A and B are shown apart, each in its own frame.
Chain A
Amino acid sequence: MEANTRSTGRLPAAFLTPGSSSFMDFLSEHQPEMLPGKRQLPPTQGVIEAPHGTTIVAVSFPGGVVLAGDRRATMGNMIAQRDIEKVFPADEYSAVGIAGTAGLAVEMVKLFQLELEHFEKVEGAQLSLEGKANRLSTMIRSNLGMAMQGLAVVPLFAGYDVDRGKGRIFSYDVTGGRSEESGYAATGSGSIFARGAMKKLYRGDLTEDDATTLVIQALYDAADDDSATGGPDVARRIYPIVTVITEDGFRRLTDEESSGIARSILERRLEQPDGPRAALL
């Protein structure tokens, strides 16, 4: 199958046939077996054991959006990896964070990045943020067969909408169902706890610095109560991945920046283990 790309022969007809600007459409016609959703699945009993990624959180603020994830991957009750990356740039103005089966998730991100880049190169223009969110929906839907066997991928998509001039967050379910979230959102096993934390801390007038602090607070709370979510690992110097998307595009906080925030949060938690308190009334 790969002979077509490896050989130095003439481009096969499929390459020169006018058609859609989608890389996935091209693949599904030319080499469908390379698409994760088109793979033949052997019949299996029970759930397949594979490393899982856990908590991803997102918070929007006036002027942009922050997307962050912890670093732990688990397999059953074991920690499979301590420094996994689950938040990736999708293109210049958007990012995607992934909870679920790590191997499939990373593959899906790679294909999603390529899908956006391919469209941009062929058309000479970027997809709208809505268009990107819909494209991701299609990809999750095509993975439904594997999701039913326990290999689910549930992303969180965040981006800066250039047309509307604001940050937006989209969450998904395993069937590809998409919903836009206002303010904040979380996905993965620790999301229940992260969402609780964000609910109490979120305000409409956060600055960028507030937002990056808020997501790390939420991840700390998720790690506090969910065994599959990793907290800031001071001894190994592994800190959450925090990304910011604004009018200026995608930016990932440096290790120094995110460790700075994480350390100051840890310091406060030494005095107040449950973190900042919200007013009763």
Chain B
Amino acid sequence: MSTPFYVSPQQAMADRAEYARKGIARGRSLVVLQYADGIVFVGENPSRALHKFSEIYDRIGFAAAGKYNEYENLRIGGVRYADLRGYTYDRDDVTARGLANVYAQTLGTIFSSAAEKPYEVELVVAEVGETPEGDQIYRLPHDGSIVDEHGSVAVGGNAEQISSYLDQRHQDGMSLAEALKLAVQALSRDTNGTQREIPAERLEVAVLDRTRPQKRKFKRIVGRQLDRLLETDGAATEAESAEEDE
């Protein structure tokens, strides 16, 4: 029997991190931004049915970049966790912080367990508050660390570049149309700095809208409403899209 090669823990972890990062970088990046009435999720997604964003619970949304089957698994785990917790205690006892902790523990255990391959995913868990100050956004990289974000966050392969672009331009209290346009600009910049066009039908957009009268604040923005938000500028469109919403 041959002796196994010695690999230092540092090297083993670095290899695993490298593996996960490469997997995540293969997909397109996505961004999550705060705007005046809530939180908007924007990403490039040619599929109509396989979503990157989804509802977890009343005020909590989920976004993921990376390997579909792995983040879908985590998403369903999160829905089960939230629904069970809400059923056991109360709907108000389901929080983004709690969910993010569970995800962090799950990803962390998988990352550091030698028996499993690390997950090639990066998640965002966001909760819309009663006011912009109450909004919470958590970013969860593949290794189970957890980052509390404000304003804007990008995940995926090109995330660093997009983040710095957003950090310079994102402001508090932007309208939905402004935030959406900023997000699309950020996503359509290539690594070498050139702009490319992302057509509306390749965009997946969803919001957690605190002004929705329902308990469930998550809503997908599709079709005419999306076109109108992308086309025009200023407050007039905002009012129109709100009307259509009703």
Contacts and interface: CB of A to CB of B under 8 A. Distances in A.
* Chains A and B belong together in one complex: yes
A5 B83 contact: no
A78 B64 CA distance: 56
Q: How many interface residues does chain B have, given as a range?
A: 20 to 34
B105 A31 contact: no
A18 B55 contact: no
A23 B73 contact: no
The size bracket of the interface on A is: 20 to 34
Which applies to chain A's interface (DSSP): helix, strand, loop or mixed?
A: helix
B84 A31 contact: yes
A10 B88 contact: no
A121 B106 contact: no
Contacts of B55: 121
Given A11-B102, A11-B106, A26-B80, A121 B54 contact: yes
A205 interface: no
Count chain A CB atoms within 10 A of each CB in B74, B80, B83 and give the residue with the most: B80
Contacts of A111: 87
Contact of B77 (A9, A11, A31): A11
A15 B81 contact: yes
A31 B98 CA distance: 20
Given A15-B77, A122-B76, A124-B54, A8 B102 contact: yes
Nearest to B55: A121
Q: Most chain-A CB neighbours within 10 Å: which of B49, B84, B106? A: B84
B80 A15 contact: yes
Contacts of A121: 54-56, 79, 83
Contacts of A2: 88
Given A8-B102, A9-B105, A114 B87 contact: yes
Interface string B217-244: 0000000000000000000000000000
Nearest to A117: B83
A27 interface: yes
> A5, A26, A34, A122: which has the most chain B beta carbons within 10 Å?
A5
Contacts of A9: 102, 105
A47 interface: no
B102 A124 contact: no
B74 A16 contact: yes
Nearest to B79: A121
B164 interface: no
A114 B88 contact: no
A82 interface: no
Nearest to A113: B87
Contacts of B103: 11
Interface of A: 2, 5, 8-11, 15-16, 18, 23, 26-27, 30-31, 34, 110-111, 114, 117-118, 121-122, 124
Give the 8 A-B CB pairs with smallest separation, nearest first.
A15-B77, A8-B101, A10-B109, A10-B105, A10-B106, A16-B77, A11-B77, A11-B106
Interface of B: 49, 51, 54-56, 73-74, 76-77, 79-81, 83-88, 98, 101-103, 105-106, 108-109, 216
